[in-house]
Structure 1
Amino acid sequence: MEIVKLVAEIKTKISKFKSEGKTIGFVPTMGALHEGHLSLTDISVQNNDITIVSIFVNPTQFNNPEDLSTYPRTIEEDLEKLSAFKPDLIFIPEVKEIYPEPDSRIFNFGLLDQVMEGKNRPGHFNGVAQVVSRLFDIISPDNAYFGQKDFQQVAVIKQMTKDLKLSVNIVPCPIIREKDGLAMSSRNVLLSEDQRKNACKISETLFKARNLAAKLSVSQLKEWVVEEINKNIYLSVEYFEIVDDTSLEVIKDWNEPNNKVGCITVQVGKTRLIDNITF
């Protein structure tokens, strides 16, 4: 497991791997690694000759400066956790390496970045597209691995890859949960003890909602989920939407075709937690 900080250096190493015909798997992260990130690394190691993990807190995807400043940074712990999975390279660049010049590109994803997280965090997905496309340009991976907890982000990255005609296979991977059901997130460490105890109400409610879908209309179920979570004094629902899993269009009737996903964001104190469930 080798640490690389410079773009020129990692490109040289990747060029050598490519010349040897080796497949490259890539796991982009912002650090503060948990079992979800490690599961992506494990899948990549099993399915590629070379696995590269990046750790980079991308400033262009934060529309709230406080969120950027408080985002957990735990490099030493991250490296220790990764060592057990033996990825080949860890790419830890400075901001000037990723953005030697300001990135002024504006992406158009249509509805994909106008609803849910896109609506509530203007510019967020444009920043995600900037950094992921830049990392893809540097790493040139065959396969890139993303967690399904960030469901909307995966949809945006798939579209970006298609729009830019990149030959990268996007591999969505299952949500990894804590024992009490809470979706693993780097932001979970920001919760107080009481907030953490109550945060599991989010996934608990989503699991119940899946069972209630046969009895309630879409609008009734959405109302029930919001009311059920908001009963808890530690939690406040920002949005809960049931959408088409490809277009992200809001579902109004269970009889509509295609798969359906319930996506939620809940404010827990000053921390935003996201989760989703398939119906």
Structure 2
Amino acid sequence: MQIIDSIHEWKKIRETLQNESIGFVPTMGNLHAGHASLLKRSIHENSTTILSIFVNPTQFNDANDLSRYPKTLEADLDIAKDLGVDYVFFPNTDMMYPDKYRYKVTENAFSAQLEGQHRPGHFDGVLTVVLKLFNLIKPHKAYFGEKDRQQLLLIQDMVKVLFLDIEIIPCPTIRDASGLALSSRNQFLSIENKLLASRFPAILQSNKALEEIIGQLSNLGFVVDYVEDYGQYRFGAVKIQSVRLIDNFDIPTTDDSVVRRRVYEQ
């Protein structure tokens, strides 16, 4: 496994991979079993797999959230090596934003809803850095988890409308034994709050009216940012103290849920 921390060096290596099928998994590090599942699939489906580790500052609208994002590079590299990753691309902020973020990618509809409504500018940062990484890595396939469903849908649309020759591969959400979606933020939960957090996915996917779900979560002590139906999915975001959790499921197929559904037109 090679670790590349220079764009110039990576471009030279990429020239040598013209006859390879390239799989790509972009991350911000602090790898867990969810990331590992993406890497395993890429390794299975491609002759070469590239992992990127870059804590992207432009997608954080809270400076405190950025500063406390866990950085576990040595452990991440051990995981990648054990899995059989071929290259780890590890750029810094100056490399990725030589323009100081003067140029950005903005989507003007879906990105303003759900997460975008509560995290202004978040998806500008996500789409901008993903496009930059796509332009550098030039993958044939890129792998994204379905836990971040809104991000996944936006990236799929960006690839389509910008005519990028990349296949976006959605990968199932990986959960712990309680059903809680794996996330780097989970490590900030106390034992007591992790038990509470484990109730979030079951309630979110319950066959109840949205108002009932919001009320039940609130009564348990969650601060609810949103619980909404979009297209065929139900999205939810809650906070427990300072820890924010997001999740999504297929909307329960009942007559009343169809009536309540708010459809997002692609």
TM-score normalized by the length of structure 2: 0.91
**Structure 1 segment 138-217 matched on structure 2, within 5 A:** 138-207=136-205, 209=206, 212=207
* Residue identity in the other structure for 2:5: K
Deviations 1:145-198 (A, max 9, x none): 000000000111112212322111111110000110000001111112211121
Q: Is contact 1:45-1:87 (8 Å) kept?
A: yes
What is the deviation of 1:224?
1.4
What is the deviation of 1:111?
2.0
* Residue identity in the other structure for 2:213: V
Q: Does 1:229 align with 2:214?
A: no
Give the Cα–Cα distance (whole angstroms) in 2 for the partners of residues 59 and 47 of structure 1.
31
Aligned length: 251
Select 2:135's aligned residue among 110, 134, 137. Answer: 137
Give the Cα–Cα distance (whole angstroms) in 2 for the partners of residues 101 and 62 of structure 1.
18
Give the Cα–Cα distance (whole angstroms) in 2 for the partners of residues 93 and 190 of structure 1.
26
Q: Is contact 1:109-1:159 (8 Å) kept?
A: no
Aligned partner of residue 17 in structure 1, secondary structure: coil
Which residue pairs with 1:3 in the alignment?
A: 3
Which residue pairs with 1:78 in the alignment?
A: 76
Give the Cα–Cα distance (whole angstroms) in 1 for the partners of residues 105 and 131 of structure 2.
11
* Residue identity in the other structure for 1:222: L
Give the Cα–Cα distance (whole angstroms) in 1 for the partners of residues 182 and 14 of structure 2.
31
What is the deviation of 1:225?
1.1
Aligned partner of residue 217 in structure 2, secondary structure: helix
Aligned partner of residue 100 in structure 1, secondary structure: coil
What is the deviation of 1:78?
1.0
Select 2:50's aligned residue among 49, 52, 66. Answer: 52
What is the deviation of 1:106?
4.0
Q: Is contact 2:42-2:143 (8 Å) kept?
A: yes
Give the Cα–Cα distance (whole angstroms) in 2 for the partners of residues 196 and 77 of structure 1.
23
Supply the RMSD in Å over aligned alpha carbons.
1.2
* Residue identity in the other structure for 1:155: L
Aligned partner of residue 160 in structure 1, secondary structure: helix
Q: Is contact 2:174-2:182 (8 Å) kept?
A: yes
Q: Does 1:261 align with 2:248?
A: no
Give the Cα–Cα distance (whole angstroms) in 2 for the partners of residues 107 and 100 of structure 1.
15
Give the Cα–Cα distance (whole angstroms) in 1 for the partners of residues 23 and 210 of structure 2.
38
Calculate percent identity across the aligned residue pairs. 40
Q: Does 1:240 align with 2:240?
A: no
Give the Cα–Cα distance (whole angstroms) in 1 for the partners of residues 59 and 204 of structure 2.
27
Q: Is contact 2:2-2:86 (8 Å) kept?
A: yes
Select 2:119's aligned residue among 118, 121, 124. Answer: 121
Give the Cα–Cα distance (whole angstroms) in 1 for the partners of residues 217 and 31 of structure 2.
27
Q: Does 1:102 align with 2:65?
A: no
What is the deviation of 1:15?
1.1
Deviations 1:205-226 (A, max 9, x none): 124x1xx2xxx5xxxx101111
Aligned partner of residue 109 in structure 2, secondary structure: helix
Q: Is contact 1:112-1:155 (8 Å) kept?
A: no
Give the Cα–Cα distance (whole angstroms) in 2 for the partners of residues 106 and 222 of structure 1.
35
Q: Is contact 2:106-2:127 (8 Å) kept?
A: no
Give the Cα–Cα distance (whole angstroms) in 2 for the partners of residues 11 and 242 of structure 1.
42
Would you identify which runs of 4 or more consecutive aligned residues in structure 1 move more than 4 Å? none
What is the deviation of 1:110?
3.0
* Residue identity in the other structure for 1:112: F
Give the Cα–Cα distance (whole angstroms) in 2 for the partners of residues 165 and 9 of structure 1.
27
Give the Cα–Cα distance (whole angstroms) in 2 for the partners of residues 104 and 155 of structure 1.
25
Which residue pairs with 2:264 in the alignment?
A: none
